[in-house]
């Protein structure tokens, strides 16, 4: 199986760098280490330099440029996300104005590896994500 992608917009930055914006839909059997997504799949000539896919359906995405694969991950364990990442009564200068933020100090006790890859052969065919990709 394979990803289904739709490129909705293409633009050029500078002389050679292309930008593609669109959607990606996964298939019914996610493979370990991700779905193949090559430069040609998105209409680039040689490479995808960077691909950013928006979190969707509770999943987050990572593009592996070395292997040309899009990986799907889901959050796991770790500590609770603190309501604020600013320590109590921390003064932050902002354009000559002093602001004071208050709140509980973040409990940064998250464990290493706060996401896990979707399991092999999982059906995520209903998952659609928006992406922006840069390449040549």
What CATH code is carried by the domain that includes residue 49? 2.60.40
Whether 92 is covered by a domain: the verdict is no
Whether 104 is covered by a domain: the verdict is no
Whether 103 is covered by a domain: the verdict is no
Question: Could you tell me the two tokens for 43?
Answer: 């209409």
- Lowest-confidence segment of 35-39, 45-49, 108-112, 125-129 by average pLDDT: 108-112
pLDDT greater than 70 at residue 101: no
For residues 59 and 73, the answer to whether their CB atoms sit within 8 Å is: yes
Whether 95 is covered by a domain: the verdict is no
Domain that holds residue 9: 4-76+113-135
| Residue 67 CA: distances (Å) to CA of 58, 77, 79 | 24, 28, 31
Question: Could you tell me the two tokens for 136?
Answer: 């040549």
| Residue 2 CA: distances (Å) to CA of 24, 26, 28, 37, 82 | 10, 7, 9, 9, 38
**CA-to-CA distance for 118 and 73, rounded, in angstroms?**
5
Three-class DSSP category at 40: helix
Q: Which residue has the tokens 């999982």?
A: 122
Question: Could you tell me the two tokens for 118?
Answer: 């979707």
> How many helices (H) and strands (E) in the chain?
0, 10
Whether 89 is covered by a domain: the verdict is no
Burial of 70 (0-12, 13-18, 19+ CB in 10 A): buried
> For residue 83, what pLDDT band results from cuts at 50, 70 and 90?
very low
- Lowest-confidence segment of 12-26, 85-99, 122-136 by average pLDDT: 85-99
């Amino acid at each position: 199986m394979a990803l289904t992608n739709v490129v909705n917009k293409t633009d050029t930055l500078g002389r050679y760098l292309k930008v593609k914006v669109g959607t990606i839909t996964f298939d019914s059997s996610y493979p370990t280490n991700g779905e193949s997504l090559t430069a040609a799949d998105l209409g680039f000539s040689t490479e995808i330099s960077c691909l950013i896919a928006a979190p969707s359906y509770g999943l987050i995405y990572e593009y592996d440029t070395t292997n040309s694969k899009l990986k799907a991950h889901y959050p796991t364990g770790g500590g609770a996300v603190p309501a604020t990442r600013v320590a109590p009564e921390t003064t932050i200068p902002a354009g000559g104005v002093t602001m004071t933020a208050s709140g509980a100090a973040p409990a940064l006790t998250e464990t290493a590896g706060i996401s896990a890859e979707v399991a092999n052969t999982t059906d995520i065919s209903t998952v659609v994500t928006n992406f922006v990709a840069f390449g040549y």
